[in-house]
Structure 1
Amino acid sequence: MSVAQTENLNIVAVDHMPSPEEIKARVPLSETAAATVLAGRRALAGILDRKDERLFVVVGPCSIHDPVAGLDYARRLKKLADEVADTMVLVMRVYFEKPRTSTGWKGYINDPYMDDSFRIDEGMEKARRFLMDVCEIGLPTGTEALDPIAPQYYGDLISWTAIGARTSESQTHREMSSGLSTPVGFKNATDGDLEVAINAIISASRPHSFLGISGKGQSAILRTRGNRLGHVVLRGGGGRPNYDTVSISLAEQALAKAKLPVNIVVDCSHANSWKKAEFQPLVMKDVIHQIREGNRSVVGLMIESNIEAGNQPIPADLSQLKYGCSVTDACVGWGTTEEMIRNAAAVLREVLPKRGEAA
């Protein structure tokens, strides 16, 4: 009598995935890229530790789908970053994984050809190569850590990591964050709850042991030191923004009560802009005004930006895709991005010296 099958009942295939070491061997870390990554991390740590009075701004496409347009954007952003380096550290938003509420394109790693072929093996290598190219331009990168295995493949090319509103409450992501080599921004929950993010920061700051994979792709027990550079990202939620002075004051009080550094990043997109990309400049202007009026807790901002404004559906004929335009959330265009950054820099040049004196 044979034993009944009790596993893999809904698995139709198990395909080989190259190990992190194999992918890194194909796209090895260069000295130039490594220098960019380390400089970016040092700058962000300096801002979070209040040794650097500049703001950091994570700015870029909602998601990467076209590496050619992505590198076009990166070169533009690098020039702008150099222009405002006295007041801001610009980090390119390079998001490869998209958490879907129900269905939809899951991102460049999962489906690089945007045809439901799900060549994750090729997507991972392409994603690593894109990160390498951006870092070799001299621009630090930031991304959202969604799949807990993915950082083993490209984490050496990341300077800042976000944990999204849907995953800040996840113990898996808190444990993973405790071992990441970057500062980590935890977003408040989609209902606006801030306690989720605060608990995540506390959890990630502690050592953890959990299941993961080694560089060779083998199952392993990962034991972490804990990440002291966790911070909160306000993105709005529950039907309202939370970048206003009252919301930020409440966040300051909550962080202080938890005995955490009072470091706040404001996401100008998502619920803070009512999911209307064109409202992002208004959010940023308001937050910069708060800094001018004496706020010291806001250390960073996030902007969803692309070459072209708005977004577009993914067509059946991919040759019909509009160049430099998002296929996920709508973004502000490049001209608006330049205006937002330059206007903020003009204000910050007057304010930051006084902000430092008030420390």
Structure 2
Amino acid sequence: MVVMRLGKAVDCTGNASPPLPLPTFLRYLAKPDFFMECTMQPLDDLRIASIDELIPPFALLERHPMTTSAAATINTAREGIHAILHGTDDRLLVVVGPCSIHDVDAAREYATRLLPLTEHHRKQLLIVMRVYFEKPRTTVGWKGLLNDPFLDGSFAINEGLSIGRKLLLDLAELGIPTAVEYLDVISPQYIADLVSWGAIGARTTESQIHRQLTSGLSCPIGFKNATNGDVQIAVDAIVSARCAHSFLGATKSGHAAIVNTRGNEDCHLILRGGNNGPNYDAAHVRAAVATLAAAHVPQNVMIDCSHANSNKQYLQQMTVATSVAAQIAAGDRHIIGLMAESNLVEGAQKLEAGKPLTYGQSITDPCIGWEDTEKMLALLSDAVAERQKKMPL
């Protein structure tokens, strides 16, 4: 709210800005609504407590720049996933790792353990590590490392972005390709160059904003069916994301911009179950394939072993994986991938102020432990080997 007094702009709290030239002051005085301005109620930012400056993407990219070895890891993984999606690579894409990342040291240890398994199973599995920094919440709760990296409600987002980017870079240099869920539409400018595969979650698959975002992302993306089990919503998202879009976005300098995309041909469906129960069995896979075919998009399906497919019982992920492995061994080529929530220590723990955390255990969804992770990967590898033997490319 601004009025003019003696050549100065004065707001309704009495704070004055530098003097204005007299002609400018007279023009303001001549405005018909001049004397109404100070009596008008404020209409904007009524529920905003504060706005803090966000570090521009280019500054973070300069702080943690891409390296030759990291780029090689990411490019190789993206090309491999593209080949799987387009039927020229008969391996299985396996996205495995913690439900969410809250401890970067534990994440690095997990990656170090995973590395020899990626090599051991490389002819059958393309293994990508879940490195999820953003968590959608049904109501409220910890929203992830980018949002609250210190787990204390300080919401140090600038630090979270830096910590997250550095971890992705370190893992890529180690030789581990990574997967994230894209929840926020600004954060990709800070980390997307380091991501090999991404997911759009069940709560955001129907969002036009996320479909548009996906159309411009450089990596393959999986869309989950809705929380109620609706597969058509995810298929519609795939159709949309394959097309070009123009929308509001941000540049690497942090400026608002109009983004024009080419469309993303590397999108696929993720079956994660729904309110009516699991959808990983052969009958549900066939139904999903038919829905994809009717939309004239590739009939590629990934199975999420967790969430509604496991009835939210984390140990049931092994049951889901066993069923999926049987379908693969029997020759199903529509199943191109599998996702599982796994950590160094099985189960989950509550995040409570002043209470120490168990190293390597989830603070969000419960996960299978490392021993079961090794068993699951071996099971899937054997199933793919059987499929390769029966149905060589």
Partner of 1:80: 117
Structure 1 Cα separation of the partners of residues 222 and 363 of structure 2: 24
1:78 partner letter: L
1:255 corresponds to 2:321: no
User: Match for 1:132 among 156, 161, 169?
Assistant: 169
SS across alignment from 1:356: coil
**How much has 1:294 moved relative to structure 2?**
2.4
SS across alignment from 2:319: helix
Partner of 2:186: 149
Partner of 2:31: none
1:157 partner letter: L
Structure 2 Cα separation of the partners of residues 119 and 63 of structure 1: 17
Partner of 1:356: 392
2:352 partner letter: P
* Paired residues for 1:313-332 under 5 Å: 313-317=350-354, 320-332=356-368
* Equivalent pair of 1:53/1:355 in contact (CA under 8 Å): no
User: Match for 1:306 among 340, 343, 354?
Assistant: 343
**How much has 1:76 moved relative to structure 2?**
0.6
Structure with more relative contact order (C-alpha pairs < 8 Å, separation 6 or more)? 1
Partner of 2:380: 344
**How much has 1:343 moved relative to structure 2?**
2.0
Structure 1 Cα separation of the partners of residues 189 and 68 of structure 2: 19
1:338 partner letter: E
Structure 2 Cα separation of the partners of residues 346 and 232 of structure 1: 24
1:61 corresponds to 2:61: no
Aligned residues, how many? 356
Partner of 1:174: 211
Structure 1 Cα separation of the partners of residues 134 and 188 of structure 2: 12
Instruction: Output one character per residue of 1:294-351: Cα deviation in whole Å (capped at 9) or x when no partner.
Output: 2110000001000000000012125x10000000000000010001101221232222
**How much has 1:4 moved relative to structure 2?**
2.8
What TM-score results when the alignment is normalised by the length of structure 1?
A: 0.98
Partner of 2:73: 36
**How much has 1:26 moved relative to structure 2?**
0.9
**Structure 2: gaps of 5 or more residues:** 1-35
**How much has 1:291 moved relative to structure 2?**
1.3
Structure 2 Cα separation of the partners of residues 278 and 207 of structure 1: 41
1:220 partner letter: A
Q: Please say which structure displays the higher CA radius of gyration.
A: 2
SS across alignment from 2:392: helix
Structure 2 Cα separation of the partners of residues 94 and 193 of structure 1: 26
Q: Percent identity?
A: 47
SS across alignment from 2:247: strand
Structure 2 Cα separation of the partners of residues 266 and 346 of structure 1: 17
2:360 partner letter: G
* Equivalent pair of 1:81/1:88 in contact (CA under 8 Å): yes
**How much has 1:205 moved relative to structure 2?**
0.4
**How much has 1:140 moved relative to structure 2?**
0.6
Moved over 3 A (4+): none
Structure 2 Cα separation of the partners of residues 26 and 294 of structure 1: 47
Structure 2 Cα separation of the partners of residues 245 and 51 of structure 1: 23
